[in-house]
Amino acid sequence: MNERKLEPPPREKLTSSGEKKSGFLFIISAPSGAGKSTLCRAARDRFADLVYSVSYTTRSPRSGEKDGVDYHFILKDEFEKGIVRHRWAEWAEVHDHYYGTSADFLDEELSSGRDILLDIDIQGTHQILQRYPDGITIFIMPPSLETLKCRLQSRGTDSPEVIAVRLKNAREEMAQKDLYRHIVTNDRLPDAVAELITIFETYRS
């Protein structure tokens, strides 16, 4: 169930002449294995005009990944210059690689009246909200840690040690859920998709 009441949009979507004003920034976070990617895909399928923010990274592409689709792959030196120039709306260094979101991209799309879907972690959300306090934050919760453990084990891609780390991280992430305006518990996927779509429609209508 969505644990929060739907709130009215923080600003009007239309001008007095009926023209669209600044777009909405939808920010979605979740522990690993909670189903965030599936739910984000469902939102993108439902709203064809929703802009998906592709992150930048300094790591090399993995098999099957495409530049500009999965990530924008850039050199470490270029990324670090971007930090100095405040190019990133949020960024982090993970396992010696940088990851970040372009502030110019967000500003341009939002000012054009387009709505954006941003799939980031809690650390990134803290940073984004400093620059975009009206961002519509949505946290995807697993029904329980035990259910999350079963989902991670059923994927068959992680060792028991990695799963233990993911569960530890999940506890810490779930403890920060109050940072988010909306919470959707992904118990049954069809219900979670319906709740997420309703949140989007409430703001976009």
Q: How far apart are CA 87 and CA 80, in angstroms?
A: 10
pTM: 0.84
Domains of the chain: residue spans and CATH:
25-204 (3.40.50.300)
Residue of 185, 178, 181 whose CA lies nearest to 200: 181
Across the chain, mean pLDDT equals 90
11 has pLDDT over 60:
no
| Residue 138 CB contacts under 8 Å (≥ 6 apart), including other chains | 26, 27, 28, 29, 180, 181, 182, 183, 184, 196, 199
When pLDDT is cut at 50, 70 and 90, the band that residue 8 belongs to is very low
178-199 pLDDT per residue, tens: 999 999 999 999 999 999 999 9
The pLDDT, as a whole number, for residue 201 is: 97
87-140 pLDDT per residue, tens: 999 999 988 899 999 999 999 999 999 999 999 999 999 999 999 999 999 999
The pLDDT, as a whole number, for residue 156 is: 80
